Amino acid sequence: MNTRKVWFITGCDSGMGKAVAETVLEHGDRVIVTARDPNNVTELAQRFPETASIYALDITQAAQVREVVANAERTAGAIDVLMNNAGYGLLGPAEATSPDEYRPLFEVNFFGMAEVTRAVLPGMRKRRKGHIINTSSSGGYAASPGFAFYAASKFAVEGFSDALAQELAAFGIKVTILEPGSFRTGFAGANLKKPKLQIEDYAQTAVSLTTTRMAQRDGTQPNDPKRLAQVLIRITDDPSPPLRLPLGEDSIDRLEKKVAATAAEFQQWKAVALSVAFDAPK
């Protein structure tokens, strides 16, 4: 019996998306490889002519999203796994970041992801099966200074995906939220955008520490995107995949600290929280 899956992966121009597409193709599955510039993935088409289908896709263009998904379903058949990977980072103080800089971030990181998901869902729902993998970040669970808008876009991915998993459970469709730590891609380097406005007051704050840490991390990140891809292959074969999946020791450490701090704060303020009830003692 042919158990080959069909994957639809966004943002394959470079980095994590390209590494996942390549690894899945090496595994023997079929991949709908989408990229803003198809020239960035021509070698995948050459190496895997029978299993790699290349499409130009700007996920912020809803009509193009629907067209590409429809074409992919016609040529490759059912889409078994959707990996919403396309996204980028924006580092700088919230005060210094203009709408012209943060709104495009949300168009890619959240709204584009939502439209790709909506385009793929009818086919999965009809077949009563499928797996949607949405790429958040450890920063989508525990925010860092300097990443206010990036974290907000990934928090949106988290909330959307959490509700989506509950909506789709009745149809046998699985949802997994990836919360990667630092992976060796271009995220911390050339691909990381920054606001044009510089506000000197932030130079000696935690925002500056984040900026320095990201610059030092570029090219030395501890985690391997191809090993992440191998994990994804494993969880798509699991009948009970996780809803949330932190990836990397740095992510686990960061999220565990966030959970512990949140639990402690809830406990500290529990009496105040309960005091709002009509029958609470004055």
The per-residue pLDDT for range 24-53, each reduced to its tens digit, is 999 999 999 999 999 999 999 999 999 999
pLDDT over 90 at 221, yes or no:
no
Q: Are strands 52-56 and 173-180 parallel, antiparallel or unpaired?
A: unpaired
pLDDT over 80 at 77, yes or no:
yes
Q: Considering only residues 100 and 2, tell me which one the structure prediction assigns the higher pLDDT.
A: 100
Q: How confident is the model at residue 1 (pLDDT cuts 50, 70, 90)?
A: very low
pLDDT, mean of residues 190-219: 92
Q: Which of 55, 141, 150, 202 is catalytic?
A: 150
Phi/psi at 177 (5° precision): -100, 120
Q: Which residues pair with 247 in a beta bridge?
A: 180
Q: Which of 5, 102, 141, 154 is catalytic?
A: 154
Look at residue 217 in the predicted model and tell me its pLDDT. Answer: 86
Q: How far apart are CA 227 and CA 233, in angstroms?
A: 10
Q: How far apart are CA 35 and CA 57, in angstroms?
A: 5
Look at residue 223 in the predicted model and tell me its pLDDT. Answer: 85
Say if CB 31 and CB 25 are below 8 A apart.
yes
pLDDT over 90 at 219, yes or no:
no
CATH fold label, 6-250 = Rossmann fold (3.40.50)
- 202 catalytic, yes or no? no
Q: How far apart are CA 107 and CA 253, in angstroms?
A: 30
Q: Considering only residues 281 and 1, tell me which one the structure prediction assigns the higher pLDDT.
A: 281
Q: Which of 53, 55, 102, 136 is catalytic?
A: 136
- 138 catalytic, yes or no? no
Query: For 125-176, what is each residue's pLDDT tens digit?
Result: 999 999 999 999 999 999 999 999 999 999 999 999 999 999 999 999 999 9
Q: How far apart are CA 51 and CA 42, in angstroms?
A: 13
pLDDT over 80 at 2, yes or no:
no
Give the per-residue SS3 of the chain: CCCCCEEEECCCCCHHHHHHHHHHHHHCCEEEEEECCHHHHHHHHHHCCCCEEEEECCCCCHHHHHHHHHHHHHHHCCCCEEEECCCCCECCCHHHCCHHHHHHHHHHHHHHHHHHHHHHHHHHHHHCCEEEEEECCHHHCCCCCCCHHHHHHHHHHHHHHHHHHHHHHHHCEEEEEEEECCECCCCCCCCCECCCCCCHHHHHCHHHHHHHHHHHHCCCCCECHHHHHHHHHHHHCCCCCCCEEEECHHHHHHHHHHHHHHHHHHHHCHHHHHCCCCCCCC
Residue at token pair 């943002």: 11
pLDDT over 90 at 19, yes or no:
yes
pLDDT over 80 at 252, yes or no:
yes
Share of the chain above pLDDT 70, in %: 99
Look at residue 237 in the predicted model and tell me its pLDDT. Answer: 96
Look at residue 188 in the predicted model and tell me its pLDDT. Answer: 74
**Domain layout of the chain by residue ranges:** 6-250
pLDDT over 80 at 22, yes or no:
yes
Q: How confident is the model at residue 58 (pLDDT cuts 50, 70, 90)?
A: very high
- 275 catalytic, yes or no? no
Look at residue 74 in the predicted model and tell me its pLDDT. Answer: 96
- State the CB neighbour count (10 A cutoff) for residue 133: 23
The pair of structure tokens assigned to 169 is 């459970």
pLDDT over 60 at 196, yes or no:
yes
Q: How confident is the model at residue 206 (pLDDT cuts 50, 70, 90)?
A: very high
Look at residue 75 in the predicted model and tell me its pLDDT. Answer: 94
Say if CB 238 and CB 175 are below 8 A apart.
no
pLDDT, mean of residues 220-239: 94
Q: How confident is the model at residue 122 (pLDDT cuts 50, 70, 90)?
A: very high
pLDDT over 80 at 207, yes or no:
yes
Order of strands, edge to edge, in the sheet holding 81-84?
52-56, 30-35, 6-9, 81-84, 130-135, 173-180, 244-247
Q: How far apart are CA 57 and CA 65, in angstroms?
A: 7
